[in-house]
Amino acid sequence: MELVEAGYQPVIVDNLSRSDRTLLKGLKKILKQKVVFYKGDCANQAFLKKVFETERNIEGAMHFAAFKSVNESVQNPTLYYSNNLNSLTSLVNVMREFGVKDLIFSSSCTVYGQPDHSPVSEDAPMKRAESPYGATKQMSERILEDVYPSGMRIVSLRYFNPIGAHPSALIGELPVGVPGNLVPFITQTAIGKRNTLTVFGNDYSTPDGSCVRDFIHVVDVARAHIKSLEFLSKQGATPLYKVFNLGTGIGASVLELVNKFQQVTGVKLNYTIGPRRPGDVEKTYADPSKAFKELQWKPKYSIEDGLLHAWQWEEKLAKE
């Protein structure tokens, strides 16, 4: 939606391994127009080449094709290395073949590992990643650093923790199987799909013992991608690689998020405290000042907005 409102015509590529075709119906309702969609694997270079041959006026690309569950990556690391790296190198190869120079890459705050302090800025050193997922993001950024001098203009957006759904409740997160992210697990527990939410650890060095994160609304993340495209369009032809944190700059614990959800929705949540989960970082939240200044972007939605929109999306799914 943000792309269309900014005057772009999106072309979506997805193999639907972690999504569902029904989301296209919601997009069509929001946009009031047909969505251009190709079903296929971004790691399949021959397939991507056919997409670029068909859509001859591609101006830039956004890579969202990585698997993103920290827990799943610990359990199945080779799946993550194979998909997350091959989907990126395949896309970059095809972009270079067709002379498409602008790329917005979905990176992650996991590239920082366990940071020395928060808020964490883009200058913070990359420590050893706490999970295979985080390692794939570190490697992906290294790949982009190595390829951009060949003529590409690249922005890596280091997401902190996106939450929420579109305010219309027509599209939102639709995890296949057990959710790998916190908020879908919260909403599925609240609606009755899951019996209990487990909070992994209450003995961290944080105010309430649970992990602290920077939760940012998914629409604000989408807005930052448009700002990134606009930023690249002003940079001239010189090859470029820039990284930006996408976060609110406010840390909130997992238990805080659970309590906020109950307050915003009025729904009591059944949750228990479990042991720490392998791969989890204790505390991380963003210093987003670089994005504020250079991208001219700031979040406009609160944590409460994100939780409410996620719940409205879950209620809509339940009715259907």
Question: Which ranges constitute the DSSP H helices of 148-178?
Answer: none
Tell whether domain 2-319 is in CATH 3.10.290.10.
Answer: no
- Answer whether residue 177 shows pLDDT above 80: no
- Answer whether residue 178 shows pLDDT above 90: no
Q: Kindly report the number of other CB atoms within 10 A of residue 314's CB atom.
A: 23
Mean pLDDT calculated for residue range 89-96: 98
Which residue in the list 8, 80, 81, 133 is annotated as catalytic?
133
- Answer whether residue 141 shows pLDDT above 80: yes
- Answer whether residue 200 shows pLDDT above 80: yes
Which 3 state secondary structure label does DSSP give 242?
A: strand
Query: Bridge partners of 212?
Result: 253, 283
Is 8 annotated as catalytic? no
- Answer whether residue 189 shows pLDDT above 90: yes
212-213 and 153-159 strand pairing: unpaired
Mean pLDDT calculated for residue range 151-157: 98
Looking at residue 21, what is its pLDDT? 87
Looking at residue 317, what is its pLDDT? 92
- Are the CB atoms for 310 and 165 separated by under 8 Å? yes
Looking at residue 181, what is its pLDDT? 85
What are the pLDDT digits (tens) for 218-266?
A: 999 999 999 999 999 999 889 999 999 999 999 999 999 999 999 999 9
Mean pLDDT calculated for residue range 110-137: 94
Q: Distance between CA atoms of 299 and 216, rounded to whole angstroms?
A: 8
- Answer whether residue 1 shows pLDDT above 90: no
Q: Distance between CA atoms of 96 and 61, rounded to whole angstroms?
A: 11
Mean pLDDT calculated for residue range 180-193: 93
Q: What residue ranges do the domains of the chain occupy?
A: 2-319
Cα–Cα distance list, 227 to 213, 223, 234, 265, 280 (Å): 24, 6, 11, 32, 30
Chain centre distance of CA 95: 22
Mean pLDDT calculated for residue range 75-99: 98
Looking at residue 292, what is its pLDDT? 98
- The predicted model scores a pTM of 0.94
- Answer whether residue 187 shows pLDDT above 90: yes
Which helix (H) or strand (E) is 139 found in, with range? helix 132-147
pLDDT band, very low/low/confident/very high, at 161 (cuts 50, 70, 90) = very high
Looking at residue 175, what is its pLDDT? 80
How many residues are given for the chain? 320
Report phi then psi at 112, rounded to 5.
-80, -10
Looking at residue 180, what is its pLDDT? 77
What are the pLDDT digits (tens) for 19-65?
A: 888 889 898 999 888 889 999 999 999 999 999 999 988 999 999 99
Looking at residue 157, what is its pLDDT? 98
- What is the percent of the chain where pLDDT is above 90? 84
The pair of structure tokens assigned to 43 is: 């790691």
